[in-house]
């Protein structure tokens, strides 16, 4: 799918992500920045971007809960409307927060196109609720406990040794996610049609790259 979205347009999510990355590069030493870049390269070297579920594949199903007690079965949602399935790593991630806010701005367009946005995260429901409140989000956010659904989609990776101490000690990932697994999902975005088939997939080992909301909306509109 080709769009005219570029990082040169300040209104795009790509531009905001790039600005955040540039600002981060000013705060950290060259050694630290290289460590994170090495982590990205290590994740990409696993082949995860190619091994994960792709366009044309059948979406994996699950029944999940958010911070409320009402369970949601994904196949029941996409049986009625196309679904945008979007993972974010956690409220501690500035790139995730940018993406969440950008998708919130597009929520009317998404629903107007007849789709349902479902956001998934490994962080505990109480933490996800705090993330939603901090970003003024009004969307369905479900807890992918232990990354179980993300694993079915093939988007989970073990944190490389180079960056493990940051996530384990500084970010306290175990406390945020409620388990000791030092793993994360890619910040993947899928569009799933009413037959449960994936029609759009954004997969990138670089956590600074995210699906552009305009592209996602366009993908949904193509299903009409």
Domain membership of residue 202 (yes or no) is: yes
Which is more confident, 1 or 86? 86
Q: What is the pLDDT of residue 203?
A: 98
The model's pLDDT over 187-208, given as tens digits with 9 standing for 90+, comes to: 999 999 999 999 999 999 999 9
* For range 125-148, the mean pLDDT: 96
Domain membership of residue 126 (yes or no) is: yes
> In 3-state terms, what secondary structure has residue 180?
coil
Average pLDDT value for the chain: 94
Please say whether the beta carbons of 55 and 223 come within 8 A.
Answer: no
* For range 111-136, the mean pLDDT: 97
Q: What is the pLDDT of residue 3?
A: 42
Question: Would the pLDDT of 8 be above 90?
Answer: no
**What total of structural domains would you count in the chain?**
1
Q: Work out the pLDDT band at 58, boundaries 50, 70, 90.
A: very high
Domain membership of residue 216 (yes or no) is: yes
Q: Work out the pLDDT band at 7, boundaries 50, 70, 90.
A: low
The model's pLDDT over 74-86, given as tens digits with 9 standing for 90+, comes to: 999 999 999 999 9
Question: Would the pLDDT of 10 be above 90?
Answer: no
Which residues, in sequence order, are CB contacts of 216 under 8 Å at separation 6+? Answer: 84, 103, 106, 110, 189, 191, 200, 202
Which residues, in sequence order, are CB contacts of 159 under 8 Å at separation 6+? Answer: 39, 167, 168, 173, 182, 183, 184
Q: What percent of the chain has pLDDT over 90?
A: 92
Q: What is the pLDDT of residue 2?
A: 37
Range of the domain at 64: 13-221
Domain membership of residue 8 (yes or no) is: no
Q: What is the CATH number of the domain that holds 124?
A: 3.40.30.10
Domain membership of residue 63 (yes or no) is: yes
Domain membership of residue 7 (yes or no) is: no
Domain membership of residue 6 (yes or no) is: no
**Cα–Cα distance for residue pair 80/74, rounded to 1 Å:** 10
The model's pLDDT over 92-112, given as tens digits with 9 standing for 90+, comes to: 999 999 999 999 999 999 999
Q: What is the pLDDT of residue 1?
A: 39
Q: What is the pLDDT of residue 224?
A: 81
- Select from 107, 91, 83 the least CA-distant residue to 201: 83
Q: Work out the pLDDT band at 68, boundaries 50, 70, 90.
A: confident
Domain membership of residue 3 (yes or no) is: no
* For range 22-32, the mean pLDDT: 92
């Amino acid at each position: 799918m080709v769009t005219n979205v570029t990082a040169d347009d300040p209104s795009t999510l790509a531009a905001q992500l790039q600005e955040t990355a540039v600002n981060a590069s000013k705060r950290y030493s060259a050694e630290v920045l290289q460590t994170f870049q090495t982590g990205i390269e290590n994740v990409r070297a696993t082949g995860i971007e190619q091994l994960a579920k792709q366009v044309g594949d059948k979406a994996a199903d699950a029944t999940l809960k958010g911070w409320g007690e009402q369970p949601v079965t994904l196949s029941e949602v996409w049986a009625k409307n196309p679904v945008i399935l979007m993972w974010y790593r956690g409220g501690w991630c500035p790139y995730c927060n940018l993406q969440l806010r950008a998708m919130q701005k597009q929520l009317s367009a998404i629903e107007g196109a007849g789709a349902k946005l479902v956001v998934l995260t490994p962080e505990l429901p109480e933490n996800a609720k705090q993330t939603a409140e901090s970003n003024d989000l009004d969307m369905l956010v479900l807890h992918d406990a232990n990354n179980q659904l993300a694993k079915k989609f093939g988007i989970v990776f073990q944190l490389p040794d180079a960056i493990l101490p940051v996530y384990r000690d500084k970010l306290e990932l175990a406390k945020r996610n409620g388990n000791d697994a030092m793993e994360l999902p890619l910040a993947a975005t899928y569009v799933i049609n009413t037959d449960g088939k994936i029609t759009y997939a954004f997969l990138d080992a670089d956590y600074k790259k995210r699906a552009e909301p305009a592209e996602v909306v366009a993908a949904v509109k193509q299903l009409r």
